[in-house]
Amino acid sequence: MASTDVTRQLDTNVRPLSMSGHVGFDSLPDQLVSRSTGQGFCFNILCIGETGIGKSTLMDTLFNTNFENSESTHFEPKVKLRAQTYQLQESNVQLKLTVVNTVGFGDQMNKEDSYQHVVNYIDAQFESYLQEELKIKRSLHNYHDTRIHACLYFIAPTGHSLKSLDLVTMKKLDSKVNIIPVIAKADTISKSELHKFKIKIMSELVSNGVQIYQFPIDDENVAKINTTMNSHLPFAVVGSTEEVKIGNKMVKARQYPWGVVQVENESHCDFVKLREMLICVNMEDLREQTHTRHYELYRRCKLEEMGFTDTDAENKPVSLQETYETKRQEFLFELQKREEEMRQMFVQRVKEKETELKDAERELQGKFEHLKRLHQEERMKLDEKKTMLEDEISGFSKRKIAAELLQAQAFTGSMNIKKDKDRKNSGFM
Amino acid sequence: MDAVILQERLAERLVSPRTRSAKLKQEKQYVGFATLPNQVHRKSVKKGFDFTLMVAGESGLGKSTLVNSLFLTDLYKERKMLNAEERINQTVEIIKHTVDIEEKGVKLKLTIVDTPGFGDAVNNTECWKPITDYIDQQFEQYFRDESGLNRKNIQDNRVHCCLYFIPPFGHGLRPVDVEFMKALHEKVNVVPLISKADCLTPGEMKKLKDRVKEEIEKLGIKVYQFPDCDSDEDEEFKQQDKELKESTPFAVIGSNTVVDVKGQRVRGRLYPWGIVEVENQSHCDFVKLRNMLIRTHMHDLKDVTCDVHYENYRAQCIQHMTSKLTQDNRIESPLPILPLPTPNVETEKLIKMKDEELKRMQEMLQKMQQQMHDQEQ
Q: Which residues of B touch A71 (CB under 8 A)?
A: 171
Query: Which residue spans within A257-368 are E strands per DSSP?
Result: 259-262
Share of chain B above pLDDT 90, in %: 6
Residue type at A404?
A: E
Average pLDDT over residues A100-104: 90
For residues A220, A221, A225, A230, the Cα torsion angle rounded to the nearest 10 degrees is: -50
Which of the residues B174, B219, B261 would you substitute to probe the A interface, choosing the one with the greatest number of A C-beta atoms within 10 Å? B174
Q: Which residue of A has its CA nearest to B81?
A: A160
Condensed to tens digits (0 to 9), the pLDDT of residues A115-169 reads 899 999 999 999 999 888 888 888 777 788 889 999 999 999 988 888 888 999 9
Average pLDDT over residues A61-82: 85
Residue A1, pLDDT score? 39
Q: Which residue of A has its CA nearest to B176?
A: A109
Q: Which residues of B touch A72 (CB under 8 A)?
A: 171
Residue A69, pLDDT score? 76
User: How far is residue B59's CA from residue A170's CA, in Å, rounded to a whole number?
Assistant: 20
Confirm or reject contact between B183 and chain A (CB < 8 A). Answer: no
The beta-carbon neighbor of A188 closest among B196, B202, B273 is B196
Average pLDDT over residues B54-67: 88
* Element of type H or E holding A236: strand A235-236
Confirm or reject contact between B34 and chain A (CB < 8 A). Answer: no
Residue A3, pLDDT score? 40
Average pLDDT over residues B110-129: 86
Burial class from Cβ neighbours inside 10 Å (0-12, 13-18, 19+) for residue A349 reads exposed
Inter-chain CB proximity A72 and B171 less than 8 Å: yes
Q: What is the mean pLDDT of chain B?
A: 81
Inter-chain CB proximity A111 and B122 less than 8 Å: yes
* Radius of gyration, CA atoms only, chain B: 30
Which of the residues B194, B258, B273, B286 would you substitute to probe the A interface, choosing the one with the greatest number of A C-beta atoms within 10 Å? B273
* Interface size, chain A vs chain B, as Cβ–Cβ contacts under 8 Å: 133
The torsion region of residue A359 among left (phi > 0), alpha (psi -120 to 50) and beta comes to alpha
Residue A39, pLDDT score? 79
Residue A318, pLDDT score? 63
Q: Which residues of A touch B275 (CB under 8 A)?
A: 258-259
Average pLDDT over residues B158-184: 89
Q: Decide which of A311 and B190 is more confident.
A: B190
pLDDT confidence tier of residue B36, bands split at 50, 70 and 90: confident
Confirm or reject contact between B206 and chain A (CB < 8 A). Answer: no
Residue A326 has pLDDT above 60, yes or no: yes
Residue A427, pLDDT score? 63
Inter-chain CB proximity A50 and B170 less than 8 Å: yes
* Highest-scoring range by mean pLDDT, A149-153, B66-70, B343-347: A149-153
Confirm or reject contact between A174 and chain B (CB < 8 A). Answer: no
Which of the residues A190, A202, A254, A385 would you substitute to probe the B interface, choosing the one with the greatest number of B C-beta atoms within 10 Å? A190
Q: What is the mean pLDDT of chain A?
A: 86
Neighbours of B368 (CB within 10 A): 10
Average pLDDT over residues B199-226: 89
Inter-chain CB proximity A259 and B271 less than 8 Å: yes
User: How far is residue A48's CA from residue A81's CA, in Å, rounded to a whole number?
Assistant: 9
Residue A4, pLDDT score? 42
User: How far is residue A196's CA from residue A305's CA, in Å, rounded to a whole number?
Assistant: 44
How far away is chain A from the Cα of B175, in angstroms, using its nearest Cα?
6
Q: Which residues make beta-bridge pairs with A98?
A: A44, A85
pLDDT confidence tier of residue B101, bands split at 50, 70 and 90: confident
Residue B83: closest CA among A202, A105, A50 = A202
User: How far is residue A325's CA from residue A338's CA, in Å, rounded to a whole number?
Assistant: 20
Cβ atoms of residues A178 and A286 within 8 Å: yes
Residue A368 has pLDDT above 80, yes or no: yes
Residue A47, pLDDT score? 93
Residue A316 has pLDDT above 70, yes or no: no
Q: Which residues of B touch A190 (CB under 8 A)?
A: 269-271
Average pLDDT over residues A198-205: 91
Cβ atoms of residues A268 and A262 within 8 Å: yes
Among A residues 248-287, those touching chain B with beta carbons less than 8 Å apart = 254-262, 267-268
Confirm or reject contact between A184 and chain B (CB < 8 A). Answer: yes
Confirm or reject contact between B375 and chain A (CB < 8 A). Answer: no
Residue B256: closest CA among B43, B104, B72, B50 = B72
Inter-chain CB proximity A163 and B84 less than 8 Å: yes
Confirm or reject contact between A111 and chain B (CB < 8 A). Answer: yes
Of A22-31, A305-314, B97-106, B282-291, the range with the lowest mean pLDDT is A305-314
Average pLDDT over residues B316-333: 72
* Element of type H or E holding B56: strand B49-56
Residue A367, pLDDT score? 94
ipTM: 0.72
Residue A2, pLDDT score? 39
Q: Which residue of B has its CA nearest to A115?
A: B122
User: How far is residue A99's CA from residue A85's CA, in Å, rounded to a whole number?
Assistant: 6
Residue B202 has pLDDT above 70, yes or no: yes
pLDDT confidence tier of residue A5, bands split at 50, 70 and 90: very low
How far away is chain A from the Cα of B21, in angstroms, using its nearest Cα?
58
| Local structure of residue B92 (DSSP, 8 states) | P
Residue B42 has pLDDT above 60, yes or no: yes
Residue B346 has pLDDT above 80, yes or no: no
Q: Which residues make beta-bridge pairs with A101?
A: A47, A82
Residue A314 has pLDDT above 60, yes or no: no
Residue A385, pLDDT score? 94
Q: What is the 3-state secondary structure (H, E, C) of A92-112?
A: CEEEEEEEEEEECCCCCCECC
Residue B315 has pLDDT above 70, yes or no: yes
Residue B9, pLDDT score? 67
Inter-chain CB proximity A256 and B167 less than 8 Å: no
* Highest-scoring range by mean pLDDT, A38-42, A377-381, B307-311, B366-370: A377-381
Share of chain A above pLDDT 70, in %: 93
Confirm or reject contact between B334 and chain A (CB < 8 A). Answer: no
Average pLDDT over residues B283-299: 85
How far away is chain B from the Cα of A167, in angstroms, using its nearest Cα?
7
Confirm or reject contact between A241 and chain B (CB < 8 A). Answer: no
